[in-house]
Amino acid sequence: MSSDHHFNLGRTEFGDPTNAGKLMSLEDAHRLLGEWVSNERLQLHMKQVAALMKAWAIEREGADPKTAQAWELAGLLHDADWEKFPETHCQKIVKELEERCIDPVVIHCIAAHGPKYFGVEPESMMDKMIYVFDELSGFIHAAALIRPAGYEGMDIKSVSKKLKTASFAAQVNREDITDAISRIDQSLEDIIRFILDHQKEVH
């Protein structure tokens, strides 16, 4: 997301606490994506972030299936309004999920995926990880696209090198990546490895 976009949501409380535990089915979430997003690359980006969120929840946070689904949903819908409603990015999907009585935890996570843009600080581990994965996932995918073998044989070193090359995927905000990583107890290398391991299977 380029820094000339500021979509401050003007609030930090989302949803109704009485809706805790209420999730949308993944079928409904994919249906919403189908209605709002025609760009296949953007759809893939959200599916990749969803897969990373789900895998992290299960493998690193010991999440139960329902919690893992909440993480996955947030990843799947975080940019759902970006293509069709660019002027109200994040506001639109937040409102939609509030109207559908979805768990506030999911809505807050989506609202926190770009603190500089939406004015919502990542609080929970779920919030922090969507912020971590969002830009890096897209960056690593862009790097894979220019390699003849794609993700095959791609390593941490080559990704790190490209991150230092300002002209490569220039629209990816390096400051956001650094800020996101600084909020968790993991190194950039660990996160790159996790993404490389889990993202390549997503189509």
Parse the chain into domains and list their residue ranges: 17-198
Instruction: Specify the pLDDT at position 170.
Output: 87
pLDDT of 6 reads 60
> Which pLDDT value is given to residue 196?
96
Low-confidence ranges of the chain (pLDDT < 50): 1-4
Instruction: Please say whether the beta carbons of 48 and 136 come within 8 A.
Output: no
* Residue 9 confidence (pLDDT): 86
CATH class of the structural domain 17-198? mainly alpha
- Looking at residue 74, its pLDDT comes to 97
